[in-house]
Structure 1
């Protein structure tokens, strides 16, 4: 917890040092993505075509898999998954463009300042060159999220069917298994999201994306999962607070008034801009977390090199003793 707090303080300090650049360029680039996220959350109740279609498809999938249809756990899970999928479909084009370009800007700027004797920000062309590895990693991250969900659902399917086959189908047993499944799903999904976020930052910092960036992120995250969760929780809660504030101040007021006034529109733009700033801050925290992971990995590599050199010296000395 202390290490997470130190990383957060360093991230805020770095963000304030680059405040003008981040709030004038990076946050403005992320503004369409932030607006799409907020608007998608507002349009979910009124999306009469897409949301029920996704919900019915998932409900049919759960029924075909043999999950108990009367459990409230699967009803809630189906509802949340339907909302997440619908919102992701709506924001997907903005994630592939504006969000990835924002990540490239922030990562390139932070990497540029890590180098000695550099104070100015990187050029636009050098920043755009990071878009391709970020795009490749983002595509692989999507497959990783799908694989994590499929793995958890497969485990739940096996557990429910095994218990039902053994005769353990009491309400208390099913309730306990539902709670355990919810905890397992939350842990697996949280770790998958952390790995995906770190893989994106790693691909931008090393200018090489794809599956290799995810594998490196898995290696770097070992032993630091609690720190990564402590870093992701404050930003995630703040982003959720901004989404709730948008629902209360804009969506609720729009339903009461029946029209969108100029003051309401300006407030919505301000909330979207605040959301963009938090997105930039989240990228900064992830970059600082990556920097904190690198020294230990360098120490491990240095220790392995020293051990290999020691083994080589021992072999040479033994061979010298054997020779007449």
Structure 2
């Protein structure tokens, strides 16, 4: 297994070595997804942001009924972030199922050097199947975190340990726990997309094989994905500052602001492309260092069980 620095260096080398291919993917394939994702996080552009407010109020009621201290900043921030994520997910779902998956299939085929008979349509079907299972895994991981937080807060509440410093410590622990689980889930789902394209194992098989592949090296995979996460967060903040803030002040969107928004969306697309390349390099590095006999035999056992269940 290569180090994180080596994986990042190989990823940047692969990106600049095939820059014209990846620039095409960022400019035409994934650009609609990036633009609407940034736009969905800018609620002042929409005439009726009541959907977002409805999500926020429902989540606030759920937190209050579960016994969470909703007046604390952690849960206010979590409520705002979750409602925004749900709103963005619903608004960008058609683009994530089309342009995002097509871009990932294009980048993975370029990096892994798949045969020419593996066209994008075939790769897209495996990727789409895996994407739906990834959504279920993300939903399950969030539910697991909230269940643990519910258990912690209600246990300490039953013991009358409701002092401010105890609640603050539990909130800090919740932030750390949530960040770790979400980061590992995101990495496993991204590697599952690569497995689905390369090994033609779509659906839950790709997720299981990605978990086997990342066994013992999840920390390295999370570390190499961190720069892309920081980059996307910085670009989202830039879009808010350069596009949304002038719109709030003036009340209208100029042509220059629209083109600047498209440029920022292109920057976001490039970061997504680079993140996909990094995931491919993680897959290649971990697959090379993995015990192929155990890895393949485990997948064969799962496939035999699947055939028995289908029969």
Q: TM-score, normalised by structure 2?
A: 0.88
Q: Alpha carbons of 1:137 and 1:44: their partners in 2 closer, same or farther (altered >3 Å)?
A: farther
Q: Alpha carbons of 1:261 and 1:169: their partners in 2 closer, same or farther (altered >3 Å)?
A: closer
| Map of 1:82 onto structure 2 | 83
Tell me how far 1:33 sits from its aligned partner. 0.5
Q: Distance in 2 between matches of 1:44 and 1:258?
A: 10
The answer to whether the aligner puts 1:219 opposite 2:220 as a matched pair is: no
Q: Is the 1:26–1:105 Cα contact (8 Å) retained in structure 2?
A: no
**What do residues 130-161 of structure 1 show as CA deviations (whole Å, max 9, x unaligned)?**
11111111111111111111111111111111
Give the SS at the match of 1:130.
helix
Q: Distance in 2 between matches of 1:260 and 1:173?
A: 47
| Map of 2:148 onto structure 1 | 155
Q: Distance in 2 between matches of 1:60 and 1:41?
A: 23
Q: Distance in 2 between matches of 1:21 and 1:256?
A: 39
| Pair member with larger Rg | 1
Tell me how far 1:189 sits from its aligned partner. 1.0
**What do residues 189-219 of structure 1 show as CA deviations (whole Å, max 9, x unaligned)?**
1111111111111111112210011111111
| Map of 1:209 onto structure 2 | 202
The answer to whether the aligner puts 1:72 opposite 2:66 as a matched pair is: no
Tell me how far 1:300 sits from its aligned partner. 5.9
Q: TM-score, normalised by structure 1?
A: 0.85
Tell me how far 1:54 sits from its aligned partner. 0.3
Give the SS at the match of 2:42.
helix
Off by >3 Å, runs of 4+ in structure 1: 44-47, 298-302
- The alignment's C-alpha RMSD in Å is 2.1
| Map of 1:239 onto structure 2 | 232
Tell me how far 1:259 sits from its aligned partner. 2.6
Residue ranges of structure 1 left out of the alignment (5+ in a row): 116-121, 305-324
Q: What are the within-5 Å matches in structure 2 for residues 142-181 of structure 1?
A: 142-181=135-174
Q: Distance in 2 between matches of 1:290 and 1:38?
A: 29
Residue ranges of structure 2 left out of the alignment (5+ in a row): 298-311
Q: Distance in 2 between matches of 1:225 and 1:85?
A: 27
Q: Alpha carbons of 1:281 and 1:151: their partners in 2 closer, same or farther (altered >3 Å)?
A: same
Q: Alpha carbons of 1:71 and 1:25: their partners in 2 closer, same or farther (altered >3 Å)?
A: closer
Q: Distance in 1 between matches of 2:67 and 2:251?
A: 44
| Map of 2:302 onto structure 1 | none
Q: Is the 1:51–1:86 Cα contact (8 Å) retained in structure 2?
A: yes
Give the SS at the match of 1:129.
helix
Greater shift after overlay, 273-282 or 43-52?
43-52
| Map of 2:129 onto structure 1 | 136
Q: Is the 1:28–1:273 Cα contact (8 Å) retained in structure 2?
A: no
Q: Distance in 2 between matches of 1:52 and 1:299?
A: 50
Q: Is the 1:203–1:209 Cα contact (8 Å) retained in structure 2?
A: yes
Q: Is the 1:27–1:102 Cα contact (8 Å) retained in structure 2?
A: no
Paired residue total: 295
Q: Alpha carbons of 1:72 and 1:224: their partners in 2 closer, same or farther (altered >3 Å)?
A: same
Tell me how far 1:184 sits from its aligned partner. 0.8
Q: Alpha carbons of 1:45 and 1:84: their partners in 2 closer, same or farther (altered >3 Å)?
A: farther
| Map of 2:98 onto structure 1 | 97
